Structures are given as C-alpha cells and as structure tokens.
Amino acid sequence: MNDSSPSSSNGGPNLAAALFHSAYPRFILFGLLIATLPLFSGLGLMKSSTLNYIGNVLVYAVAALGLNLLLGYSGLISLGTAGFMGLGSYIAAYVSKDMGMSFWAALATAVLIPTLIGLLIGLISLRIEGIYLAIATLCVSEILLKSFEQADSITGGMQGKSVSYPVLFGHAFNRSSTYLMLVVVLTLVMMLTHSFVNGQKGRALHAMRGSEVAAQAMGVNLLQYRLIAFSLATAYSALSGVLYVYFVKFSYPSVWNLNLSLYVLAAVVIGGLRSIYGTVVGTFVVWAVPDLILKKLPVVGAINGLPYIFNGLLIIVVIMFAPQGISGLWLSIPAMKKKKLPPAGKEAV
Amino acid sequence: MSNELGTVLQLFMRSLETGSVYALAALGIIIIYRTSNIVHFAQGSLGMFNTFVVTYMFTSFRLPLWASVLCGVAAAVGIGFLVDFLIIRRAKRVSSLAKQIITLGLIMVFLGLAPMLFGVDPLSLPRFIQSGDIGLGRASISYNAILNISLGLVLMGILFYVLQKTKMGLAVRTTASNESTARLMGVPTGLVTLAAWALAGVLGCLSGVMIAPTTTVTTSLMDAVQVNALFGCVLGGFQTFYGPVLGAYIIGVGRNFLVYYVSSIWGEQIMYLFILIFLIFRPNGLIGRKFVKKV
Amino acid sequence: MVDPLMDLSLAPETSTRTLPDGDALRVERLSISFGGLRAVDDLTFAVREKEIFGLIGPNGAGKTTVFNCITQFYRPDEGNVFFRSRDGVVNLVGRPVHSVIGLGLVRTFQNVEVIQELSLLENVLIGAHIDFRATIFEQAFKLPRARREERFFRKKAEDVLDFLGISNRRDLLAGGQPYGVLKKVELARTLMANPRLIILDEPAAGLNDTETQNLTGTIRQIRNEYDCTILLVEHDMRLVMGVCDRICAISFGKFLACDVPGEIRRNRLVQEAYLGEEEA
C-alpha cells in the first residue's frame, strides 16, 4: 500500500503527472482516500454506522466488478451473483469456524469451490444464450439459496451462520482493521482488473462481445474465454461473499436472493459498463445513497420506505437520461466543455 | 391403493393450485416481454403491492373480500398505466439491458411504497371460501383451491381466446412479432403496451391474492412466485404466450411431487436442476425455435 | 456438366492428396448445401504462392460461402482444403475455427467486424492474440514478460497502422470512425498475425472511388512487403481486373473458369453468367 508510483525517481512535477496519468497510483490514491474514513469516525466527524455502510459498498463493489467483467467486457449475463456470494460466505464461515482452519485456508476454499461451479456455467453458456442464460444462472443461484436454507448442519439454516473477525498475521482483527482489509482487497482487485482488461486476455473478451466471428478468426477460443469470464465473475462474487461474512460477521439465507443479484446488476449498469471506478460509484448509489444520504434528508428520511422509493426513482432516471451510466456522463463532460469553447482556428469556410 | 390414488390426486390438485399462481405471474411476464421487450423482474413486486392494497382495503376499511379484490385490480390497472405512460414509453431508446434495470428500479419503488402506505407489520388475508373440502378417499381438497384452479384456468382461457380470435388479440400478436412494422401497419401499439402493463398488473394482483392466505402479506410475499414464474418462462420458451403458462404448471406439479415423493429437503433443488439440464438439451425452451446467425 | 468451350488445362484437376510445390492453397471438390440448395458444388481451384487471386461470380454465386468453408466457419459436406502452413501442408477441413489463424491463414469480413468500444490500436492488437505467451496471472500482475510482450506488439501494431496510413487515429475509438478507416483496421489486424495467406471478403465494399483506387496499391504493397498470398472476393470488377494475377469465376457454386484477368474477361461462360444476372 505504501509503494509510491514507479516513476517517483524523477520527482517534482513528474511525480504529480504520474499520479494523475498512470492508473496504478490513482488506484492507490483512491484506496488511501477510503482508508482514511475510519479516522473521521474516530474523531467523531462521521457516525460509526456510516462506516458499516461504506464497508458494505466495498464488499459489494468486488462482486459488481466481477459482473462487469462478464456483462461489460464479455457481453454475457448472469443473475447468479447472489448465490455465489452466499456460497463463498458459508464456505468461509464453515472452514474457519467449524473446521477451525486459518483465514487463508477459508479464503482459498471459499473462492475455489464456487469458481469450479462457475466453470460449469461457462460450459453451459456455449449452448444457452441471452435471457435463457440469465435465468439458467438464476436457477443455479436458487438451488444454492434453497440449499443454504436446508443444509442446517453446515449453514445454520434459517438461523444463519456467524463468524468472528478474521485472525491475520497473528492479529485478531477488529472492525476498523477488517474495514482496512476490505479497502486493501478492493484496491488490489481494481488494479488487477484494470491490468487484466487492458491486456491481451481482456481484449479477447472484448472481441468475444463485439464480434464472435472476428474473435474466432483471430484465434480466440470462445469456449476458453467463456470459461475465463464465468470463472472470474464467480471468483469475484465468492470473494465478495467471503469479505461480507468477515465484515458483517453473519450470513443469512434471506440475504442471497434474486434481488441482491439484481442490485449488483443495477450497480454495474448505473456505474457504467466497462468502467472500474464507475462500478464502485454505481455500487455506492445502489447501497449507500438510500441509507447515508436520503435517510438524512428532512421529510424524505423520516418516512418509512421513502428512501428506497427515491433510490428506485433515481435508478430509473439515471437509466433513462444516462443510458451509458455515470461513467458515461463523466466522460461526456470534457466533450461538453469543448463545445462551449469558441472554435480554435478559422478553418471554417 | 385408493389411498395412494387419493394422495396423488390431492398432490396433483394442490400442484395445480400453485401452478395457477405461477402461471398467472408467468403470463404477466410474457405479455410484457412480448409487447415491450422487457423481462419484467418487478412482476412479483407489483403483485405484492397490489395484494397489499387488497389486504388493506379488507382489514382497514372492512370491505368485503370481493370488493377489496376489485380495488386491488383497479390499483393494478392504474399502476400499470402509470408505469407504461411515465416510464416505459419514454425509454424507447434505452438499450434492452438497461430496460431490465428499469424494472429493478420499480422493485425498489414498490418495496418502499408498501411499508410507507401500509405499515411495516405483516398483514393477513383470508381465503375466499373459508372452509369446506371435497373428500378424495383419505385425502381432500378445499373448495377454495378448486376456486383458485378454476379461476386461473378460466382467466387464461379467456385471455388465449382474446389473443387468438379477436381483433384486439391480433393487434397484440402483431406488436409482439414486430413492433415497428405493427405501428406502420396502423396497429395502435401504444394502446397495446398500455393494456399489456395493466393486464400484467392484474394477473400479478390475482396471483398475489391466491397465495396470500397461505402465508402473511409482507414485502417478500411474491419472491418465490417471481422466481418460479421466470423459470416457467424459460421452461416453456419466450416465443409463445402459452409456453410459459405450460412451464409454470409443470414446475408447480413437478415441485410438489418431488418434495413429497423424493425429498422434502432437496425436492425443490432437484426440480431446478432438472430445468437446467432440460435447458442444456433444449436451449430455447419446450416451445421455441433456434435462430441461426449469419456470418 | 461437360463443356466443350472449357480449356482442358483449366478443368478441375484430379485429386492429388497433397499440394504441388508452388501452391499456397488448394480447394478440392468442395460442396456444401443449405436446406437442399447446393451453395457450393464440387468446386476445385488452386492458389499459387505470393499470388493475388480473385474469386468472382454473380450475386449469390457462393463466393463468401467458399471463404467460410475454407476458414471453417462452415463445415463443408464434401471436399478438402489443402493449405501450406508454416509446418507443412495441412487439410483445413474439420479444424476448429480459432485454430486456422495459427496455421497462417487470416481473413477479413464482408461487413467490417471491429470492436466499437476499443481504440483502433487495440483492435489491431487483437490480430496478435495467438502470439502472446504471458499467462493470465502475468498479465493481471503486469509481470515483466507480460509488459515486454505488450510493448512489443503495441510497437508492431503502430507500425502496421503507419504502413496503412491511419496511425494518426490509433487512439480513437473504432465506433464512429468512417467505413474506409475500419476496413483498413481489419486489414491491419490480419497483418499482425504474420499471415501466409490473407482472405479478403469484399475489401472495396462501401469504399468511395478514390479509396478503391488506393486499395489496389495497398493490396499489392501488402503482398510485396509482407510476402504473403492474397485471396479476395470482390464485386468491383475494375479492382479485381486491376489487382489480381489470376481469377477464378464461379456461378451457382460451380466452377466456370480460372485464368488471368484478360482471359476471364473474354471467357464466354463468364460473360453469360454475368449477362444472365443482368437479364434477371
């Protein structure tokens, strides 16, 4: 986390330039920024519950980034996010609590097993397409959800399953340090995702979405890349579930339903397809805006349910007036500025 | 022997009852899908809200049940009109993916509206016919279940008659097959989608009223119905109006038999697994064609 | 169908099972039907190495279908496609579509197939897809090999874009670029793969007169500088006659003639096939 930008040796203005023009330092800056939030809470500038909401956003953002890999980059859809998040959370809880194994073992199993199921869905995706594929993934998610409810001995059934904060590097974490862990994980995930999508494999996903025939002609093996897309999205979901269970310290079956998958989908579309920062912003809009902002407003916040109505309307309005999502709006700001400027030369005839 | 037969019969009738609930919801989803090209994820939430209207009218205003249901139906029509008029027809240029998110926004709106207007306490709604069973050997089936099943069948019968045999139905089918061509041919497609949203609302409300007596009326009343109706749609295929209805009944029957005869814990999961495996072999549902892509 | 007018030396050769020296590609007794309609019917022709070879025919003659059969987008009902790859002669029939480029055969598409949301440079980089060796982990963690490869192929893509004269647009998104530029992007993408044979499906479609004229030079330049064979389908007769060394004419999926442009122009069968189209 404390690594500064690679070009820092040049010093001075170059460092500033690198900070703003190179992707990695910006991600680290972003991570440092959200990492300082507990300080505000400690100084009494921010309510302690606010930290919980922000922490939830960080957790869900990981799943949303995974769905963006699938939907935005690869053009494949899934409504199975919630089921895989739940699976990740229960496996992590079971391995660390019931089996008494380390955080790392819990993390590894909780990501690996769902990823294998994700591979199976990747296989299915070669036969089933579009809305049928979306509902097929929902089907997988529902099978998992029903199993969470029924497999009492592992999941605790309807009573849910509890864990304690993780023990890492010999330290028993508390809420603040777990929050920092979320920040570190999200920042890392953002950086890795950024490198991945801008590299050869990421371009192959783009090609698969943009033109399957061109992708094949250029040597992209569709099966291989669908497997990559689905296993990555599932791995991200499972990781998000692991983070959830360690931060919230509880996993209930009722959390992992269709609505959660739809919220993650909304976060991706609202934030903007193929935008990493946009996805995080979209997650914030979906999960934190009703509780952190709308509930604080006079009148609106006081009435039961009203924040959610507003958030629903906000989502609808964003979709209708900014179909490219918030990142699309952001990108169009420079274009708008340009239009306002007087023409540079006298080229017009 | 006759007991065994009675059990099967009872299971079957109960399945038909759940199947009717799923089928009404699925029909709502497919009507919206075919006319507005939106997978209606809020079908359950709208139904939930309108069932709240019915329950509220019944408990707080002490209206008779039939009058309360009429109020719910009226609310469903009104809300359907509003949703189409205010949102859907203004979102024509939105990508089809983003349109699905609109229905998600609707879910949030109605999840918020219900507790705001009707409070956070769970309510309950009685059955239409409070008591009375028909004996079937040792098994029995309630009059109310028979009412629900017949109501579902009659309603769908009327709808399919209207769709296939009337001018109005022709307008709907033309819109469904190609909206812009239909408009050019003078079909009032705006009216068709308006009616579709109202109709989907009514179907959702009725499925909610049917399922409400078996549980309490809360915001999660329709969660299972929504999911099973969607599964009914993929099982039957999105290309016809009757496919999803058929799919929904199959799920209703299959689920109950698997839960009773195979495993009360794993029955439902096995049902869903069957749907998945079925989709692998028929990727476009029972009644669906495959579109061939051209290079 | 026996035709007395057909020069015997140009008649479909009999199967030799291998590719004679000097031939880059040999389509042999190729047939494919769609729902009873024979789109390609017992077609045989051979393309020589370093040749610019044209495949022509009236609308619906099955030209693109032949291309799809060669590149394995369609599986032919009968026949073989022998191709001189980097590792010797192979039969393409039955191979997975995505493996064809690895043998040294790349194609473009009739309706440009570029990725709208990527920059021109990134689109071109997709052409080098199979030459990357870094694993997914090396790429995600930007390990040295991944960085080195990315730098190397970016430079190569820039050179290719430069060669085609569109390097000034390399960082612009493909979506919204003029058709002519996108056609060049597709060309550039094929060049990234160091191809032995490039298949161009209507390279001039949608181009204006000047662009079409320039295309002749570009195609020749590609053949000379990249030292490869070019097989193209084109409607613009001026381009085909101007650029091709030899031309094969087909009609309703059947072989008509294969010769140098001047002879094809004079060939009665070819004339009749095209006249038939105008009368219809």
Convert the pLDDT of each residue in C47-66 to its tens digit.
999 999 999 988 878 899 99
C150 close contact with A: CB closer than 8 A: yes
Which superfamily is assigned to C1-104+229-280 in CATH?
P-loop containing nucleotide triphosphate hydrolases (3.40.50.300)
Please, which residues have CB within 8 angstroms of residue A213's CB and are 6 or more apart in sequence?
Answer: B295, C73, C109, C113
C122/C191 Cα distance (integer angstroms): 14
Residues of B in Cβ contact (< 8 Å) with C68: 295
CA-nearest of A231, A67, A249 to A156 is: A249
What pLDDT is recorded for position B138?
Answer: 67
Choose among A71, A132, A309: nearest Cβ to B112: A309
What pLDDT is recorded for position C36?
Answer: 82
Residues of A in Cβ contact (< 8 Å) with C140: 192-193, 195-196, 199
Chains that touch B (3 or more CB pairs under 8 A): A, C
Lowest mean pLDDT among A158-167, B217-226, B241-250, B283-292: B283-292
DSSP, res B84? I
Residues of A in Cβ contact (< 8 Å) with B110: 312
Rounded to a whole number of angstroms, the distance from the CA of B41 to the nearest CA of chain C is 29
Residue C245 pLDDT class (50, 70, 90 cuts): very high
Rounded to a whole number of angstroms, the distance from the CA of B295 to the nearest CA of chain C is 8
By a Cβ cutoff of 8 Å, what residues of chain A touch chain C?
Answer: 192-193, 195-196, 199-204, 206-207, 209-211, 213-222, 228, 274
**Using the beta-carbon criterion (under 8 Å), do A207 and C129 form an inter-chain contact?**
yes
Rounded to a whole number of angstroms, the distance from the CA of B96 to the nearest CA of chain A is 10
Residues of C in Cβ contact (< 8 Å) with B295: 64, 68, 73, 109
Choose among A204, A214, A228: nearest Cβ to C113: A214
Given a cut of 60, is residue C1 above it in pLDDT? no
A210/A203 Cα distance (integer angstroms): 10
pTM of the model: 0.87
Residues of A in Cβ contact (< 8 Å) with B279: 124, 127-128, 132, 136, 139
Between chain B and chain C, the number of residue pairs with CB atoms below 8 A apart is 4
**Using the beta-carbon criterion (under 8 Å), do B41 and A258 form an inter-chain contact?**
yes
Rounded to a whole number of angstroms, the distance from the CA of C133 to the nearest CA of chain B is 30
CA-nearest of B245, B256, B225 to B285 is: B245
Q: How far is CA B247 from CA A172, B206, B230, B286, in A?
A: 52, 19, 9, 8
**Using the beta-carbon criterion (under 8 Å), do B272 and A262 form an inter-chain contact?**
no
Rounded to a whole number of angstroms, the distance from the CA of C103 to the nearest CA of chain B is 21
Choose among A303, A305, A323: nearest Cβ to B94: A323
Q: For the residues C132-161, what does the mean pLDDT come to?
A: 93
Q: For the residues B15-41, what does the mean pLDDT come to?
A: 91
CA-nearest of A185, A333, A315 to B99 is: A315
Torsion sign, CA atoms C155, C160, C164, C170 = negative
**Using the beta-carbon criterion (under 8 Å), do A150 and B266 form an inter-chain contact?**
yes
Given a cut of 50, is residue C206 above it in pLDDT? yes
Domain positions in chain C: 1-104+229-280, 106-194
Phi first, then psi, for residue B43 (nearest 5°) are -55, -45
Convert the pLDDT of each residue in B78-113 to its tens digit.
999 999 999 988 887 777 777 888 888 899 899 889
C132 close contact with A: CB closer than 8 A: yes
C255 phi-psi bin (left φ>0, alpha ψ -120 to 50, beta other): beta
Asked if the interface predicted TM-score (ipTM) of this complex is over 0.90, the answer is no
Residues of B in Cβ contact (< 8 Å) with A148: none
* Local confidence pLDDT in tens for the 349 residues of chain A: 333 334 333 444 555 555 555 788 888 888 888 888 877 776 766 777 788 889 999 999 999 999 999 999 998 889 999 999 999 999 999 999 888 888 899 999 999 999 999 999 899 888 888 888 989 999 999 999 999 998 888 888 888 888 888 888 878 888 888 899 999 999 999 999 999 999 999 999 999 999 999 999 999 999 999 999 999 999 999 999 999 999 998 899 989 988 899 889 889 988 888 999 999 999 998 888 877 777 777 766 667 777 778 788 888 888 888 877 788 777 766 555 554 444 333 333 3
Residues of A in Cβ contact (< 8 Å) with C154: none
CA-nearest of C218, C52, C199, C195 to C127 is: C195
Assign 3-class secondary structure to chain C: CCCCCCCHHHCCCCCCCCCCCCEEEEEEEEEEEECCEEEEEEEEEEEECCCEEEEECCCCCCHHHHHHHHCCCCCCCEEEEEEEECCEEEECCCCCHHHCHHHCEEECCCCCCCCCCCEHHHHHHHHHHHHCCCCHHHHHCCCHHHHHHHHHHHHHHHHHHHHCCCHHHCCCECCCCCHHHHHHHHHHHHHCCCCCEEEEECCCCCCCHHHHHHHHHHHHHHHHHHCCEEEEECCCHHHHHHHCCEEEEEECCEEEEEECHHHHHHCHHHHHHHHHHHHC
Question: Does an H or E element contain A47, and which?
Answer: none
Single-letter amino acid, residue C204: A
CA closest to B293 among chain C residues: C73
**Using the beta-carbon criterion (under 8 Å), do B104 and A305 form an inter-chain contact?**
no
Does the fold of domain C106-194 match that of domain C1-104+229-280? yes
B292 close contact with C: CB closer than 8 A: no
Choose among B100, B226, B231: nearest Cβ to A139: B231
Residues of C in Cβ contact (< 8 Å) with A274: 117
Residues of B in Cβ contact (< 8 Å) with A302: none
Question: What domains lie within chain A, and their CATH numbers?
Answer: 19-279 (1.10.3470), 288-339 (no CATH)
Spatial contact of A246 and A58, defined as CB atoms under 8 Å apart = no
CATH class as words, domain B2-281: mainly alpha
Single-letter amino acid, residue C124: V
Rounded to a whole number of angstroms, the distance from the CA of A102 to the nearest CA of chain C is 24
Lowest mean pLDDT among A4-18, B170-184, B262-276, C15-29: A4-18
For A318, the 3-state DSSP assignment is helix
Top pLDDT among C32 and B144 is at C32
**Using the beta-carbon criterion (under 8 Å), do B272 and A258 form an inter-chain contact?**
no
Residues of C in Cβ contact (< 8 Å) with A192: 140-141
**Using the beta-carbon criterion (under 8 Å), do C132 and A200 form an inter-chain contact?**
yes
Given a cut of 80, is residue C244 above it in pLDDT? yes
Rounded to a whole number of angstroms, the distance from the CA of C51 to the nearest CA of chain A is 22
CA closest to A274 among chain C residues: C117
Residues of A in Cβ contact (< 8 Å) with C143: none
Q: For the residues C233-259, what does the mean pLDDT come to?
A: 92
What is the second-level CATH architecture of the domain C106-194?
3-Layer(aba) Sandwich (3.40)
Given a cut of 90, is residue C16 above it in pLDDT? no
Top pLDDT among B185 and B289 is at B185
**Using the beta-carbon criterion (under 8 Å), do B91 and A258 form an inter-chain contact?**
no
Choose among C99, C117, C127: nearest Cβ to A210: C117
Q: Which residue in the block uniquely carries the two structure tokens 């049902």?
A: B271
User: Chain-wide mean pLDDT for chain C?
Assistant: 88
A80/A118 Cα distance (integer angstroms): 10
A201/C131 Cα distance (integer angstroms): 12
- HSE toward the beta carbon, residue A2, CA cutoff 13 A: 0
Residues of C in Cβ contact (< 8 Å) with A207: 115, 126, 129
Domain positions in chain B: 2-281
CA closest to C69 among chain B residues: B295
Spatial contact of B35 and B176, defined as CB atoms under 8 Å apart = yes
A139/B285 Cα distance (integer angstroms): 14
Spatial contact of A92 and A164, defined as CB atoms under 8 Å apart = no
Choose among A138, A262, A313: nearest Cβ to B109: A313
What pLDDT is recorded for position B290?
Answer: 57
Top pLDDT among A343 and C105 is at C105
What pLDDT is recorded for position C62?
Answer: 87
Q: How far is CA B229 from the centre of its chain?
A: 6
For B144, the 3-state DSSP assignment is helix
**Using the beta-carbon criterion (under 8 Å), do A309 and B104 form an inter-chain contact?**
no
**Using the beta-carbon criterion (under 8 Å), do A219 and C140 form an inter-chain contact?**
no
Convert the pLDDT of each residue in B108-154 to its tens digit.
899 889 888 888 788 888 887 777 777 766 677 788 888 888 888 99
Rounded to a whole number of angstroms, the distance from the CA of A106 to the nearest CA of chain B is 26
By a Cβ cutoff of 8 Å, what residues of chain C touch chain B?
Answer: 64, 68, 73, 109
What pLDDT is recorded for position A9?
Answer: 39
DSSP, res A251? E
